[in-house]
Amino acid sequence: MKSIAFFLLTVCLFFTGFQLQAQETGSNKPVRLVVAGALELGGDEIAEVFFIDGGSQMVRAGQGGSLFVGAQFQLPSVDKFFVRTAVGYKYVTTAADNINIRLTRIPFHFTGHFRITDDVHVGGGIALHRNIKFKVDDSDEGLITPTASGPRFEAGWKGLALTYTLMNYQGNSGETYNAGSLGLSFTALLPK
């Protein structure tokens, strides 16, 4: 976990340096820092937790909350097109009190976007999930291989966007889990 935090801090500082340089070169801000979050739902059931009161909760391969940091690159010759790249941490757990069940992964996104208006944009690209881990308490259940990738699509208004990702996780026994997700993301750009 310390290495992930160090990596995210390094990326932040690296892109902040680009951002400061962009501020000095003009008002079009060709490089900006991206800070984003997302909530996503979907995918196949990986586990189901049954509670004493008779209720249950499923852990699905595509669901989770994410935080990202990255950069947005504005192409100087094409003002309606920009590229975003980001790295983050995606996490989902259950409401169980006596056991810690969680699915974690490190997503990377690389997407190209087209501005329809100043506020509305559509985009598409690739999502890569690394370090995919399904854990129960401190044991690694080992149900999922460590890397997956697939296409990602976005339709946004200002800093909000609907996202759709197509992806499959491969189980260690050869089974395939649909890890596709539908989500809502929020993106802040610095400087504004």
- DSSP class of residue 11? H
Q: Are 87 and 8 in contact (CB under 8 A)?
A: yes
- pTM reported for the whole predicted model: 0.79
- DSSP codes of every residue in 29-85: -SEEEEEEEEEEE-S-EEEEEE-TTS-EEEEETT-EEEEEEEEEEE-TT-TTEEEEE
pLDDT reading at 4 higher than 60: no
28 — alpha (psi -120 to 50), left (phi > 0) or beta? alpha
pLDDT reading at 20 higher than 80: no
Reported as a single tens digit per residue, the pLDDT across 90-124 is 999 876 666 778 889 999 999 999 999 999 999 99
Q: Are 37 and 84 in contact (CB under 8 A)?
A: no
- Give me the domains of the chain, ranges plus CATH numbers: 2-190 (2.40.160)
Reported as a single tens digit per residue, the pLDDT across 137-156 is 766 665 667 899 999 999 99
